[in-house]
Structure 1
């Protein structure tokens, strides 16, 4: 049996019980009134002084029981209910009461059946509209005006709300898929552009080396260039692979409790040789208790991010300068500054430097080897630690060089 049918039967049974109970109460009250009137008539028939008896009746003194009343009235020929005017009135009132109860219940039943039919029709209409809406979603129409579907005082159209939510979700998923498709296309284009220059340089070197008329010194020179291009290409490919794996989720940062000081020290050691070749000093300013500071981090990838920052600082700083690392404990995060005395960054490029494959137009930047992926990769790694990376514009206005600021929360 359907839920709607069971509910309808329950309402009908409850309505019948309520109607029957109320009718029974009314009939009982009418019967009590009828009996009281009969008793009054019987007392008047027995009374020697009717006027005095009426006075006693009004005072409700000396009521007779039912058997006494029947015996008295029977002596005067009132043996049945219909024999008296009072009995006829009682039967007539009972008939009207019963008829009214039946009519009232039939009216109630009609309302119940009407509501059931109306609700069924509304559900059918809503189901049809929902099916039409799903069909339109399948056809690509995700934005639908559902306000016309609601009645003015309707509050249970959850299926319509869910349909609206479904349309928005499907639209969002399609937009996300389109965005991912565009990002993949852009990534492939960027990678192709980045690989074009070193591949062309390698091809040129190979073409020159095919010339048998080269002297030993010339051949050695081009072989050296070839080796340099191969190393640059290897570094570029490694960076591109890391970026691709990071963006596709193949690299998942595993944050575990670790000493941040050890990560910073490892990053310094990795760029120390390059700094020494340019006679650049790397200094660190930090509190003593920083050595024991424990943070949730992925030591391998966070070290990679700091290496990229330090490598940039050394690359774009003139010989004989200093790169300074400052670390300070703040209320809820660790602040790391990496400051150099190099060429600096124009204010309008503060955000661009963290974009993928971005390199400045300055001749000092262009003459250095680079792919424009180091700072981008550093940003992605630090964001994976729920931190931030930015440039300190206030310090860069007052002092020469760049100041990168990394903030990593304690938890």
Structure 2
């Protein structure tokens, strides 16, 4: 009899413990649900974790981590959306002028009373606006591809002096309008692994800027120097200076200095230079003093 009583007592204790354990488990689940709701709503007091231990604290830490990751991706999505909106707005603004010009002169061309001279002039202006529009579209597409990391540069061993000379040739006509000369006399052959096409584009963009802001009848000097780890391409022009504050911003997208207001541009030339050079493991700097502006590109040897 006493054995049966003991067995019944043990079963009773086990049942009580099981029931109690179930209640505790349900209580823990309720507490966990409360904590998760608080984390989701951003209302959980993080300082409370200092005084908590065990599974609940682990749960809270993991929940906070998930919430942090969510916030990060939400913030990234907002930034991407803002960048896209900014890009669309800027493209619209930059393209409005040449498009308006094309539309206006196309409408004027419909006038049968136009002289042959006026027709040629209007056709020339339409062609110039079309070229500017094509250039803007090309630059924006290129920048977007670089930023999206979908642009793969093809580096190969080549004579850097040839690349620089090709960039100079692209800007000679532009420089002729201000009676500018280009001085480039390399001291030797600089064989370097670089992307020939895009390095030429970067140098051409800097020369384009140099032409815009150079004093008339001056000289643009291009020097190349082999350093220990880098090869430096230095482009110097005489003309408008850039303030020390603006030098820090010169390679940012859409930045245009106070002296640039009277010149045409979208503020993307030097930004594209930065992308091209950095994609090849290099960097770029700008200095401006004593009436001279020097932009240097450093390409890995």
TM-score, normalised on structure 2? 0.78
Please give the secondary structure, in 2, of the residue aligned with 1:402: strand
1:185 and 2:85 aligned: yes
Q: 1:189 deviation in Å?
A: 1.0
Correspondent of 1:320 among 209, 217, 234: 217
List aligned pairs for 1:79-98, cutoff 5 A: none
Write the distance in 2 (CA, Å) between the matches of 1:352 and 1:379. Answer: 12
| 1:404 has 2:295 as partner | yes
Q: Which has the higher helix share?
A: 1
Q: 1:292 to 1:122 in 2, by over 3 A?
A: farther
8 Å contact kept, 2:252–2:271:
yes
1:247 to 147, 155, 158: 147
Sort the Cα spacing of 1:266 and 1:220 in 2 relative to 1 into closer, same or farther, 3 A.
closer
**Using the alignment, how far apart are the partners of 2:276 and 2:36 within structure 1?**
41
CA contact (8 A) 2:178 2:217 kept: yes
Residue number in structure 1 paired with 2:129: 229
SS in structure 2 of the partner of residue 340 of structure 1: strand
Q: Kindly report the root-mean-square deviation, in angstroms, between the aligned alpha carbons of the 2 structures.
A: 3.5
Q: Which has the higher contact order (CA 8 A, sep 6+)?
A: 2
Distance 2:213 2:37 in 1: 59
Matched residue, 2:283: 388
Deviation per CA, 1:332-372, whole angstroms, max 9, x where unpaired? Answer: 3333321111323233322343333333444xx45543332
**Contact 1:356–1:373 under 8 Å retained in 2:** yes
2:114 maps to 1:214? yes
Report deviation, 1:153. 5.9
In structure 2, relative to structure 1, the CA distance for the partners of 1:303 and 1:163 (3 Å cut) is farther
> Structure 1 186/130 Cα, relative in aligned 2: closer, same or farther at 3 Å?
farther
In structure 1, the residue matched to 2:246 is: 349
Where is the strand percentage greater, Structure 1 or Structure 2? Answer: 2
Residue 147 of structure 1 and its aligned partner are, at CA, apart by 4.5
- For the residues of structure 2 that align with 1:148 and 1:174, how far apart are their CA atoms? 26
Q: Is the 8 A contact 1:142 1:171 kept in 2?
A: no
Matches within 5 A, 1:153-172: 154=54, 157-172=57-72
1:310 corresponding residue in structure 2: 207
Q: Which runs of 5 or more residues in structure 2 are unaligned?
A: 1-12
Gaps of 5+ in 1: 1-109
Instruction: Within 5 Å, give how 1:70-109 maps onto structure 2.
Output: none
For the residue of structure 2 that corresponds to 1:213, the secondary structure is coil
